[in-house]
Amino acid sequence: MTSSAKEQPSTRSTSVANTARPSGAVATTGGGSGSEALASSQGRTTIADAVVQKIAGRAAREVSGVHDFGGGASRTLGAFTERIPGGRASSSRGVTVEVGEKQAAIDLDIVVEYGVPIVQLAQSIRRNVIGAVEQMSGLEVVEVNINVNDLHLPEEDRADESSEPARVT
């Protein structure tokens, strides 16, 4: 391979650096303000995809107007898991990340509360997720894609409560 072929930049400006590594592998962090502290002459710090996934999920949940995460099937499975004694919902359900050496891309599948302006909610989610991931990991977040899968209506909560049979007679 010639040296000019090695130096060609990626044609996609939002692509994540070093995306060819296997899922679940760790990335050497380097973007953002913490890159100098994460790679030094004394060693380097790596962060697993799951860590970035949890940070992004937690930051998105903090935004008022987000009711739930995931598509229909993953929400159904999550509701089932929560009912099992000792079970709890996954904090990364509906959150997908792609982490490279210096950058991360994040996809969120969300359910929005009825009445919340979706465009403003998406802006707030992006701001919160980017801030949290960049501050905590030092990675540069190149994109946060938000897929609104459903709209939660207040009547749905009342219908769920009334459909459950009494446990004690």
pLDDT band at 135 (very low <50, low <70, confident <90, very high): very high
What is the Cα Rg of the chain in Å? Answer: 20
Domain-located, residue 55: yes
Q: Pull the structure tokens for residue 90.
A: 């996954």
| pLDDT > 70: percent of the chain | 57
Q: pTM to 2 decimals?
A: 0.66
Domain-located, residue 21: no
Domain-located, residue 65: yes
List the one residue out of 23, 10, 9 whose CA is nearest residue 96: 23
List the one residue out of 110, 76, 85, 102 whose CA is nearest residue 15: 102
Domain-located, residue 117: yes
Task: Give the H or E element holding residue 79.
Answer: helix 72-83
Q: Which residue has the higher pLDDT, 18 or 163?
A: 163
CA 19 – CA 7 distance, rounded (Å): 17
Which residue bears the tokens 């996809």? 107
Fill in the amino acid letter for 163: S
CA 56 – CA 137 distance, rounded (Å): 11
> Average pLDDT in the 36-41 region?
67
> Average pLDDT in the 129-156 region?
95
At 42 the pLDDT is 87
Q: What is the CATH number of the domain that holds 99?
A: 3.30.70.1350
Overall domain count for the chain? 1
Q: Which residues span the domain enclosing 54?
A: 48-159
At 29 the pLDDT is 42
Domain-located, residue 30: no
Domain-located, residue 62: yes
DSSP 32: G
**What's the N-to-C CA distance of the chain in angstroms?**
77
Average pLDDT for the chain: 75
| Alpha-carbon distances, residue 25 vs 21, 46, 100, 150, 160 (angstroms) | 7, 9, 10, 32, 40
Domain-located, residue 33: no
Q: Pull the structure tokens for residue 5.
A: 């072929």
At 160 the pLDDT is 57
Fill in the amino acid letter for 43: G
Q: Pick from 36-40, 87-91, 119-123, 163-167 the range whose average pLDDT is largest.
A: 119-123
Lowest mean pLDDT among 18-32, 69-83, 136-150: 18-32
Domain-located, residue 11: no
